[in-house]
Chains A and B, each alone.
Chain A
Amino acid sequence: MSESYYDRAPGDASALPDIEQGRTSGVLVYTIGMGLAVGLTALSFWAANTSLLWAGGVSLGLTALAIAQMGVHLVFFLHVTTGPDNTNNVMALAFGMLIVFLVVVGSLLIMADLNDSMMPGPEIMNLHMQR
């Protein structure tokens, strides 16, 4: 038992059941996460409604804020870290994110391309009118 690597279950704050020590810091971790999440959410709602920002960049900014908030949730609520006890969880998460990215971005790209190469509307296609 000299060298032991514990795997950690996702969502576990600590691999070792060190209860009394972990309690107060656990509350602190959730509170920090909650504060960050509320701040990012408020920022998202503000960015969507303000007229101070360049309108074209707002949707990109909202995406960035959502990614940041997802990170906050993963770290502070789901306790996914980059530690050696967490490798399996992170690898599964990375694979899941890859699939999500492929599905969403792939669908959007393919559908935008299809729309572009769609046949023109009926006004142009109507040969009777083009004589």
Chain B
Amino acid sequence: MSTVTVDDHLYGEAHELAVDEKRVVVGYGFWIFLLSDIVMFSAFFAAYAVLAHATAGGPDGMQLFSQRSVAIETVCLLASSYTCGLMQLAVTSRRYAVTYLMAFMTFVLGACFLTLELREFSSMIALGAGPQRSAFLSSFFTLVGCHGLHVAAGLIWLAVMMAQVLIKGLYDATVERRLLCFSLFWHALDIVWVWLFTVVYLMGVLS
């Protein structure tokens, strides 16, 4: 990855560079994983776009989607992405209090998002518009549910990372690398959500 050349006798510097290089390699590997995850989402998006009008006489998006709750969910996820970025800055400058505060805010905002989404799902199912109703709803629940599942996994990951910060501290290179991966994951989920609210919710209420 890196083309840095170091003289052999400069062991300390070489060691430091090795740590730095590992950070780059781990980040790059996780970046590849995220891109493959986005490719998976693109397949779900394609399925949804194809099946969006296959309502089988059931309710369509215009009747089911509430733009207000989607707007609140979007604000929650955007704000949590922002606090996650601030947490990442606090991690690189080794400030514990800010790290915990920002991680807590990220967690709360993510949990708010998830709660709103689950409430939306349960109200749709209560209306008889569950995933078994039509191909449109099957693909809707698969796509949006898969994103929600990612957010839930991210929340668990964040909680585990805070426990690791508590035990190992922010000077641990492993913890720092994992936190870098977490923030990548969280920002990538936000990108998926941008496409989700555009394609599913906003275009769904257009036609």
Contacts and interface: CB of A to CB of B under 8 A. Distances in A.
Interface residues of B, number: 59
A104 interface: yes
Contacts of A27: 86, 89
Interface size class of chain A, counting residues whose CB lies under 8 Å from the partner chain? 35 or more
B1 to A, nearest CB: 5
A11 B2 contact: no
A88 B3 CA distance: 13
Interface string B14-39: 00000011011011101110011011
B180 A9 contact: yes
Contacts of A62: 198, 202-203
Nearest to B181: A11
Interface of B: 1-7, 20-21, 23-24, 26-28, 30-32, 35-36, 38-39, 42-43, 45-47, 49-50, 67, 71, 74-75, 78-79, 81-82, 85-86, 88-89, 92-94, 180, 183-184, 187-188, 190-191, 194-195, 197-199, 202-203, 205-206
Interface of A: 1, 4-13, 17, 19-20, 22-23, 26-27, 30-31, 33-34, 37-38, 41, 44-45, 47-49, 55, 58-59, 62-63, 65-66, 69-70, 73-74, 77-78, 88-89, 92-93, 95-96, 99-100, 103-104, 106-108, 111
16 contacts: A1-B4, A1-B6, A9-B26, A9-B180, A10-B30, A33-B85, A34-B78, A66-B198, A70-B191, A77-B85, A78-B187, A89-B31, A100-B39, A103-B46, A104-B42, A111-B50
